[in-house]
């Protein structure tokens, strides 16, 4: 079936946010007398929401509900003040989005990042791009890999699940896509290794954003796309 729309993960897929996340949580750790982590460790801490980020980063002996809640609150305050210092779109992402817009391919963002920061990031780095939906972590709504967010976006698109390509950089994204009935595509430039993506059900792995147009069966620039 020809893919007619795309759901994008955000962190590690469209934006490299790792250093700002690491710096924000590490500041909280230092203030609380905890040992900060190397930035690379955060590749495995992020991806499942703010509470899971705090749980993974905390030493096992410190993992109480109260400690996690305090760490999440501190992280959100620090991140609110410094979320866009080092964050940048990955190479060729803006060009890829521009080509999707030019060709009328609907797109949406589905992230486990808190909704406030998901919306801020999209507005800051992709101003004016007509995403059909921008969904982050919301109170009362399940996080990925629960397929509810992807299914909600599918209804917004007005498309069958199998007509939607899901692009992400973690096993959580690939599992979400599979559970929602979307076509799971992993990116090699993100936070997690390709092996994780393959084990989690990625049907394809791409190394550059422009490769998405091969999966969408786009012709070369300057010619028309067939819908047959």
Three-state DSSP at 32 gives coil
193 in a domain, yes or no?
A: yes
What is the C-alpha to C-alpha distance for residues 168 and 188, in angstroms, rounded to an integer? 9
pLDDT of residue 224: 46
Whether the CB-CB separation of 93 and 102 falls below 8 Å is answered with no
66 in a domain, yes or no?
A: yes
What is the C-alpha to C-alpha distance for residues 191 and 143, in angstroms, rounded to an integer? 18
Whether the CB-CB separation of 37 and 29 falls below 8 Å is answered with yes
30 shares a domain with 131: no
Give the DSSP H or E segment for 214.
helix 212-215
> Six-digit token pair at 41?
């460790």
In the chain, the percentage of residues whose pLDDT exceeds 90 is 92
If pLDDT is split at 50, 70 and 90, which confidence band does 80 have? Answer: very high
In the chain, DSSP finds a helix count (H) and a strand count (E) of 10, 8
Angle formed at CA 120 by CA 87 and CA 38, multiple of 5 degrees: 35
> Six-digit token pair at 26?
């590490």
24 shares a domain with 11: no
If pLDDT is split at 50, 70 and 90, which confidence band does 2 have? Answer: confident
Give per-residue pLDDT as tens, 14-28. Answer: 999 999 999 999 999
50 shares a domain with 158: no
220 in a domain, yes or no?
A: no
What is the C-alpha to C-alpha distance for residues 110 and 96, in angstroms, rounded to an integer? 18
Q: Of 29, 51, 82, which residue is a domain's last? A: 82
Give per-residue pLDDT as tens, 49-77. Answer: 999 999 999 999 989 999 999 999 999 99
pLDDT of residue 220: 53
What values do phi and psi take at 136, rounded to 5? -120, -160
70 shares a domain with 175: no
Instruction: Quote the domain boundaries for residue 181.
Output: 5-16+87-215
Whether the CB-CB separation of 144 and 131 falls below 8 Å is answered with no
What is the C-alpha to C-alpha distance for residues 22 and 111, in angstroms, rounded to an integer? 18
CATH number reported for the structural domain that contains residue 49 in this entry: 1.10.150
Looking at the structure of the chain, the number of domains it has is: 2
**What average pLDDT does the segment 129-139 reach?**
96
106 in a domain, yes or no?
A: yes
């Amino acid at each position: 079936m020809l893919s007619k729309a795309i759901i994008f993960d955000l962190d590690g897929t469209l934006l490299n946010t790792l250093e700002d996340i690491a710096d924000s949580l590490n500041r909280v750790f230092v203030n609380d007398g905890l040992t900060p982590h190397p930035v690379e460790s955060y590749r495995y801490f992020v991806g499942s929401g703010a509470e899971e980020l705090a749980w993974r980063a905390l030493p096992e002996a410190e993992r109480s509900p109260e400690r996690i809640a305090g760490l999440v609150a501190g992280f959100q305050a620090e991140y609110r003040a410094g979320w866009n210092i080092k964050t940048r779109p990955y190479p060729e992402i803006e060009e890829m989005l521009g080509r999707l817009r030019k060709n009328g391919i609907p797109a949406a963002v589905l992230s486990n990042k808190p909704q406030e920061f998901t919306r801020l990031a999209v507005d800051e780095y992709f101003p004016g791009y007509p995403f059909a939906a921008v969904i982050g972590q919301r109170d009362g709504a399940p996080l990925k890999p629960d397929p509810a967010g992807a299914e909600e976006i599918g209804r917004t698109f007005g498309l069958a699940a199998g007509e939607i390509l899901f692009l992400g950089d973690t096993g959580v994204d690939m599992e979400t896509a599979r559970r929602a009935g979307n076509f799971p595509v992993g990116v090699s430039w993100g936070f997690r290794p390709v092996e994780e993506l393959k084990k989690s059900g990625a049907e394809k792995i791409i190394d550059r954003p422009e490769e998405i147009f091969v999966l969408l069966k786009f012709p070369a620039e300057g010619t028309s796309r067939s819908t047959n």
